[in-house]
Structures are given as structure tokens and as C-alpha cells.
Structure 1
Amino acid sequence: MLFQKYFPTTIWHRLRTVPLREWSTLPLSTAEGSLIFMAAFLISAALGVVRQILFNAHFGIGEEAAALYAAFRLSETISTLIAGGALTNALVPHLLLAARTQQRAISLLVSRVLTLMLVVVIPITFILWLAAPPLLRWFVAPGLDPQTQALATLLTRIMLAELVLLVAEGVLSAVLIARGQFFLPAAGIALRNTMIILSLLLPEPTIITVAIGSLGDSVIQLLILIPGLWHHRLHVRPAWQINDPLVRGTLRLAIPGAISGAINYSNAIVDTAVASLGGQAAGLGAMHNALLLGHLPQRLCGIAIGQAAFPYLAAAAVSRDRKLFQQRWLTTITTAAFLATMSALALIGGGRWLIRLIFERGAFDSAAGDLTFAILQLFALGLPIYVIVEITGRALVALGDARTPLLANGVQLLTRIGVATLLWPIVGVLAVPIATVASGIVEVSILCGILWRRLSMVTDWHTIGDPTVSL
């Protein structure tokens, strides 16, 4: 079979011989996990394309669409700050440390981290619900008219309810990822767009039902983790102990990591703000559709491979094996960069045909397709850079260093703002992808330079699990 030819024999045989009920707890290698996550992102992307086709047919790139895109930008930024991947990545190495003692230590650590996060996130969600109008008006989409901003406020308030769900999902998925059990977290990614699609298939869908569908997708991502956690007999209960060294160590990585992730999403806010300048919704809609295609290889080559490699990088750091860590990092970024380069060439060569095939129908006309392709071509030039940034940032976190990714993100954000502001009067919305590539070059230089310097040190090359480091 063609599928078996290109899919590794080991995982193909294991998935074929292991009962379906055991897939949720099947440990996978980095290569196997990468393919599982890639498959999940491809399924999610396919559903995302279906979602976008339905959405474009109903709403085009008009004012209602612009309101939803602006709402997505704000809610995604806040979600990343409070409950994004930074929390999962910060918890994984400390779960590995807890696993060296006893099973009860894992349940206790998860309970304490989850309790702490919920105590923080619930009041913050209410504050953000109140602050949504000025945040949208001043930062996210200043170029939209008052009526569209009011609609974006309503949609944002609906989607803010996702925060509590994402906190729980981020903590609980770390338990499986730390063990190399990627199947259920990947399944949650794969099913991400199902409820939005169902909302668009209603007889008379509205922009509000689409926002509610997004909330339903978060519920699915949380519930799908339950079977794997039952298998491990994870006992989660309210538990408050902020002085626990493992809890404090998790926070020491999670806080700068979350800020770093929020800066990454702030890039999207900057992009949205630049695209909305001049009060034209067309640029915002074209950019969203271009990034829908451009972000797919970034997820496949950067996030999928990086997430699969992360627990093994963390394990090498916890074991203090510098050579193994260096080997795993170099192998991962080399593979990911090669795949990203091939993807970039494919998008530049065939992106216009793909946009015509997928998006050009209904209210999405040829002019919208031309603008979307122009943005996509420029964005694709930086794909190898984006995936190296993604993987190297995770590698530093695995070493116990979340401050360097934060520093690099801050510098690239300032670069992005400067380049976009300088070029917008000249090239319009094309300033967004140009600024993305320029800031990526700056960020990857900082991350790789500092990581290589740390790996060249004979001693003091990491801090995870070091009792001399203050947590």
C-alpha cells in the first residue's frame, strides 16, 4: 500500500496490531509523534478549509467577517497569555522530575498547578469581558467603524469563555505529552474545527453562532483527553501549595513563556491593525485567508515536529546529557527546515492555483484571490525561519530558559512594528508579510546564537532540576 510505503513500518505495525482502546496511551518516538501531529494538523487544516469555504460563501470579506477576525485575534492572544502552550511546555519537564519519585507526586503537581491557574484565570476572564471594547478600539482593529467594533466586542465576549477550558486542557495534556503519548492531544487538534463547521451548516447561520461553535471546539479538546488520564489513574482535586518547588519551577518557566507566546500573538494584532488601516476590510480578509494557507506548513514543520521533540529534549536536559540534547536539537531543526523550504517553494509556485481552487466562490472574487496570493508569496519566504524559531524556543524552555525566547520575541515585535509602520504607506497590506520575514530573521539569530553558546559550555548549560537554582 502507498500509505504503508511512506509511513514508518514501526508505527504502522503498532497501530495495526494494538487495540484501538490502547492508542491513547501508546508511547511514540519523536519521528512517530511528529507524523501523528502532522496528520492532526492536516486534518484540522482540511476541516479549516471546509470551514473557510463555508464562511467565505456566507460572509465574504465584509464587515461581519472583519469583526470575527478581530475577535479571534484578541481572544487568541489572551488565551495564549493565560492558557496557551507555554503552560504545557513549562509543566512537562517538571512532570518528568516528579515521575522520579512516585505516581502520587504527578497527581499532586497537576492538582496544584490546575488549582492555581483556575484561581487566576476566572477573575481575569471577567475583567477582560469588561475591557473588550477599548482593547478592540485602541489596539486590535482601530480602522474598523464603530458598528463593526461593537459586533467584534460581542463576539470577543462569547469566545472569552474558552479561557477556563483551555487552562484545564493545557495542564492535563502535559501529562500525556510528558510520557510521549501524543495520540489524544493530536486528536483534539484534528477535531478543532468541527463545531464551527456544524454552526455554518445551520439553515441560517449567523456570525454569533460561528463564535459559539468555536467555544464548542474547546469543549471537545478537553473531553477527548479524559480516557488517557483515566488510564493513568490521575487523581485531580483542589490543592493549594504555591511553595511546592515543582509548582514554582513550572511558574518560573510558564510566566515568561506565556508572555513570549502573547507577544507572538501580538504579532497577529499588529498585522490586523496594519491591515485594517484606511478602513478597508478587504486587506484584513485577504490576509486571514493567506495565513490560513501559509500557517499550515508552519504548523506541520515547526509546531508538530517541535511538540513531538519537546519531551525528549526535556528528558535529555533532566538527565543532564548535553551531547544527546545537542544531537536531538540539530537533527530536529535540520529536518524541519528542509521540509519548510520544500513547502515554501510549493506555495510560491502553486499558491495562486490553490487559492482559486479553494476560495474563489460566492463573495470571494478574483481580485480578492490576487491580493491573497501576493500576501502568501511574501509570507512563504520566511517559512524555514519560522520553524527554526519554533523548535529552538522550545529547546531553550526544555533547558529551563524561558527568558531568552521572551527577549527574542520582544525584539522581533519591535522590528515588526517598525518595518510595518515604515512600509505601510508604500506597499499597503503587503507591509505585513514583509515585516514578518524581517522580524523572523532577527529572532532566529538571537535564539540560535544563545542556545549554541549554552551548549558549548562544559558546565552550567541548563537549570532544569538543578537544586542550586532558585525556583
Structure 2
Amino acid sequence: MRGAVSLNQKKSRSLVSIAGLVAVATLVSKVFGLVREQAIAAAFGVGSVYNAYAYAYVIPGFLLILLGGINGPFHSALISVLEKRDKSEAAPLVETVTTLVSLVLLLVTVVLIVFADTFISMLAPGLGGEVKAIAVQQLQIMAPLALLAGLVGIGFGTLNAADQYLLPSISPLFSSVAIVIGVVTLMWQLGTNLNNPENWYLGAMVLAGGTLVGGVLQWLAQLWAQWQAGMGKLRLRFNWRIPGVMDVMKVMGPATLSSGMLQINTYTDFFFASFIPNAAAAMRYANFIYLTPLGIISNMILVPFMPVFSRLTAPENWPELKVRIRQGLLLTALTMLPLTAIFIALAPVIIRVVYQRGAFKSADADLVIPVLMAYGIGMFFYLARDVLVRVFYALGDGETPFRISIFNIFLNGFLDFLLYKPFQTPGLVFATIGVNIVSLVIFLGILNNRLGGLPLQEWGKALLALTGISFLAGVGSYGVSWGWEQFYPDNNFFLQLLRLLLSVVTAFTIFIILSIQLKLPEVYMLLSRIKGKLKK
């Protein structure tokens, strides 16, 4: 018994160290991502080059997320099969799967190159002239990312199965580094502003080429690590009868189709964005800031709750399951609502501190600011919906979320059509928020019936109180920001950074102090988690 306890403790420590390693690597990648976006903003601003790139990158970026991302179908399929097999079987299995996947994705790459003009016309019918021509050329340059996405996804799964986590988690920074080097070199040669029409094509090609080079470097780094771990080499194998190959394909195919359906909303948004000048570029800049804290916090909330939900699916455990659902929703509110207040109250300062230098002028900031504010409004609804989706998965019901996602595709298109003209670019974000709100209501209604009733009124009162507190936090932070500007109107970067930090601290301080007065157990739970992290 003592030996078993020791083994479990060792495994627990191992999991904690892995989680810490992945968190640090992810943070490093995020920092390099920020530097990349700042370099692009300084070089191109919210102009034609980056706007064209935003459309050209939609399909390659979608494939990188879908096929090459952690927890994507390729990653999950490889881990699920390799974990059940002896290491000696890994190399031929991985090489065979790589060969089969590469043949399919090589065909996709050729199709993207040949029909790039058609894809851009379908995706962005509102684009015209040189901007469309640039987007077509950029898509042709980045088309091989379709092949690289599959190879990177296979590498993620293979290396994780071999207990290697640092390289897969940190490898996305290769793309950021390649783009930064290309853009900075071009700025050094041609000056700080590459947004002049005579420099459009050169700047666009460097941006697309840097993205492709980054993808190649990411794959080569993983390939070398696979080789060292004995998990396969760069070798063609066509024997799909090798044990495990069909098991991988059976998981990989349906998972890819299912995940791909959920990305259609992105295409819909960009379709309507093409009728709004520079909308795609503005959305990309704002989206990066919005997703950075959302991605980190979502892992903190979703990852621990998934196994908890799974243990409480039996009817006799439903009372505790309801408590855990409440905890998930209220922890989401406690982390997302202060960020909503900050993004709405301080969006001008945030955009100017992060982006406004070089080619990114005040007029560019004016385009991005309302988009970031709109994203801020939807933070709670986005993450709360994901919490409830995990409840359905824990209950063994993946069909309901999938059906609702299909409905959401049509709803998103309808809301985009209604809102993009009166609200311009923020209207596309409002459409997504509307979809998330509707999904949240539907999920709560279904769970209310399935679990024999939820205390929705009680939860609603707590959420309403936290919303009111977030409003006061936003007012307080805005007041501090406004007061600072009266005394220090200078646009000096460090003064603006201090202004932002002081205003953010004010927002969090007000939110925490007033939230404690509500005496919600989730407040103390969150504070204890934060204290635990700080002690480490």
C-alpha cells in the first residue's frame, strides 16, 4: 500500500511538473507572438498589406489550428493509439501515418496553389484590386502550410506520447521569430513604413514567406526530436496494414470533420468583413490581445473541471455536479468580468501601448479600439459556453454540442448580415457574442431538464451582482486613466505604460474588494488558488 501511495505521489508530481513546463513554454510563445504582432503593426499598421494577409492566412491558419494544434485531431489520435502500444511499434506506425497524411495534404496544397484566386474570391468577395491580388499571392506562398500542419500535428502527438512536452509547446515561436526577422530586416532596408503602395508586394511576400519559413522550422525541430526519441524518421511507408494505423485513421477522420465544422463561423465573419475597409486587419490585432488572457485563464478553469464533471455523472451525484457547474460559471465570471471592464474602459490606452508605433498611427488605433471593446463584452459568454460544453462531454453527450454548433453556423451568418452594416467591424464581433449567448441559454435549458432542475435564479443573482461590480471597477479604472491624462498628457511610452498598469490595478482592486463582500465561496476559492500560485 505504501509503495502504491508513493507511486501515485510521484505521478502526481510528474503531472504537476509537466503542467508547469507547458505553461512556461506557452507563455514564452505568447511573448514572442506579442513581439511579432508589434513588429507587424509598426511595419504595416492597419493597411492593405496586413489586411490582405489576414484573408490569405485564413485557410492555412485554420489548418494549422485544426490539424497542427495541441488537442487537435492529429495530436489526439496519435496519443490515443501510441499510449496503448509498445515503443518498438511506434516508428513504423508514425512513418506510415505520416506518409498517408502527407499524400492527402500534398494534394490539398496543390489545390490551394492552383485555385488560390477562387478561394480568396469565395472567402472575401468584397476585396478587389491590388489587395485581392496580394492576398492571392500570399495564399499561394503559404499553401504548403497545409502539408506542414499535418506533419506538425503528428509531431505533437508523437512527442507527447514519448513524454516530450517542452519542444512541442515552445515550437510555435519559430514562426514568430521568422516573421519578426523578415519584417525587421525589410524595415531596416526600406524604412519604417512599408505601407506605401510601391512597397506593398515586397512587404506582403516577406510576411507570407516568413510565415512559411516558420512552419518549416517548427516541423524540422519536431522531426529531429522524433528521430532522437526513436519515434520515426523521414521515411516513406505505404503499408497501412501495420497494427495501429487504421486505429489512428478511425479517430483522426471523424475528429477532423467535427472540429472543422466548428471553424466555419470564422469564414462567415471574414466573408462579411471583406466589405468593410481594413476590417480583417483590425480584427486580427484586437483578437490577439483578447485571446491572450482568455487562453491562459480558460486552461486554468476548464482543465481542472473536466475530470471533476466526469466523476459526477451518475444520478446520485447530480447535486454535487450542479454545485460544480455553479463553480465553473462563477469562476468564469470572477476572471472574465474584470477583464471585460478593463477592455471597455482602457481599450484606447491598451491599443496605443501595445501597437502604436511606426506605421501604426492614431487613425489605425481608432479602427482597432472599438473592436477590442466589443471582444471584451463577449469574454464571459465565450468561456461560460465552453464550461457547459465540458459538462455535456462529461455526460457522454457530444451530439448535443455538435448539433448546436451546426445551428450556430446559420445563426452567426444571419447575425453577421444584420449587424455588419450598422456597426461595421464591431458588428461582426457582436454577432459572435449573440451566438454564444444563445448557445449558453440553450445549454442551460437542456441541463436544467436533464439534471432535474438547476438553481438558475440563485446563479443569476450572483452573476448580476458581479456584473454590477465589474461596471464599478471599469468606472474606477477609467477615472484613474482620465485623471492621469490630465496631469501627464504626454504620449511617452513609459508614462502610458504606467498609466495602464495603475488603471488595471485599480480595476482589479475594486473588483476584488467588492466581490469579497458578496461572501461567495467561489471568491475565496479563486483567491486561494492565486495565493497558492504566488507561493510557488
Is the 2:43–2:360 contact (alpha carbons within 8 Å) kept by the matching residues of 1? no
Measured in 1, the distance between the counterparts of 2:328 and 2:173 equals: 23
Measured in 2, the distance between the counterparts of 1:395 and 1:105 equals: 36
Q: CA deviation at 1:407?
A: 3.4
Tell me if 1:222 matches 2:210.
no
Quick one: structure 1 residues 408 and 257, their matched pair in 2 at CA, closer, same or farther if it must change by over 3 Å?
A: farther
Structure 1: gaps of 5 or more residues:
1-13, 15-25, 318-322, 457-471
- 1:137: which partner in 2? 121
Is the 1:297–1:340 contact (alpha carbons within 8 Å) kept by the matching residues of 2? no
- 2:419: which partner in 1? 423
Q: CA deviation at 1:432?
A: 1.1
- 1:175: which partner in 2? 158
- 1:74: which partner in 2? 59
Q: CA deviation at 1:447?
A: 7.0
- 1:254: which partner in 2? 252
Q: Greater relative contact order: 1 or 2 (C-alpha under 8 angstroms, separation 6 or more)?
A: 1
Tell me if 1:288 matches 2:284.
yes
Measured in 1, the distance between the counterparts of 2:417 and 2:271 equals: 10
Structure 1 SS opposite 2:115: helix
Q: CA deviation at 1:198?
A: 0.2
Q: CA deviation at 1:290?
A: 0.9
Measured in 2, the distance between the counterparts of 1:450 and 1:105 equals: 44
Count of matched residue pairs? 416
Is the 2:90–2:232 contact (alpha carbons within 8 Å) kept by the matching residues of 1? no
Q: CA deviation at 1:352?
A: 2.3
Q: CA deviation at 1:396?
A: 7.5
Q: Deviations over 1:78-131 (max 9, x none)?
A: 4445555222123322333x23xx222333432332222112111121112112
Quick one: structure 1 residues 298 and 38, their matched pair in 2 at CA, closer, same or farther if it must change by over 3 Å?
A: farther
Measured in 2, the distance between the counterparts of 1:396 and 1:192 equals: 35
- 1:210: which partner in 2? 207
Q: CA deviation at 1:378?
A: 1.9
Q: CA deviation at 1:442?
A: 4.0
Which of 38, 60, 69 aligns to 2:45? It is 60
Is the 2:171–2:221 contact (alpha carbons within 8 Å) kept by the matching residues of 1? yes
Tell me if 1:123 matches 2:107.
yes
Measured in 2, the distance between the counterparts of 1:221 and 1:88 equals: 15
- 1:86: which partner in 2? 73
Q: Deviations over 1:216-247 (max 9, x none)?
A: 21123223334653453223444445567844
Measured in 1, the distance between the counterparts of 2:242 and 2:445 equals: 33
Measured in 2, the distance between the counterparts of 1:395 and 1:175 equals: 29
Q: CA deviation at 1:415?
A: 1.8
Query: What letter is aligned with 1:297?
Result: P
Quick one: structure 1 residues 130 and 411, their matched pair in 2 at CA, closer, same or farther if it must change by over 3 Å?
A: same
Measured in 1, the distance between the counterparts of 2:361 and 2:104 equals: 46
Measured in 2, the distance between the counterparts of 1:113 and 1:448 equals: 40
- 1:268: which partner in 2? 266
CA radius of gyration, larger in? 2
Tell me if 1:109 matches 2:89.
no
Structure 2 SS opposite 1:360: coil
Q: Deviations over 1:107-165 (max 9, x none)?
A: 34323322221121111211121121111112x22111132111111100111112222
Query: What letter is aligned with 2:49?
Result: E
Identity of aligned residues (%): 24
Superposition RMSD in Å? 4.0
Which of 351, 357, 362 aligns to 2:353? It is 357
- 2:34: which partner in 1? 49
Measured in 2, the distance between the counterparts of 1:130 and 1:399 equals: 45
Measured in 2, the distance between the counterparts of 1:393 and 1:249 equals: 26
Is the 1:264–1:409 contact (alpha carbons within 8 Å) kept by the matching residues of 2? yes
Which of 113, 138, 141 aligns to 1:158? It is 141
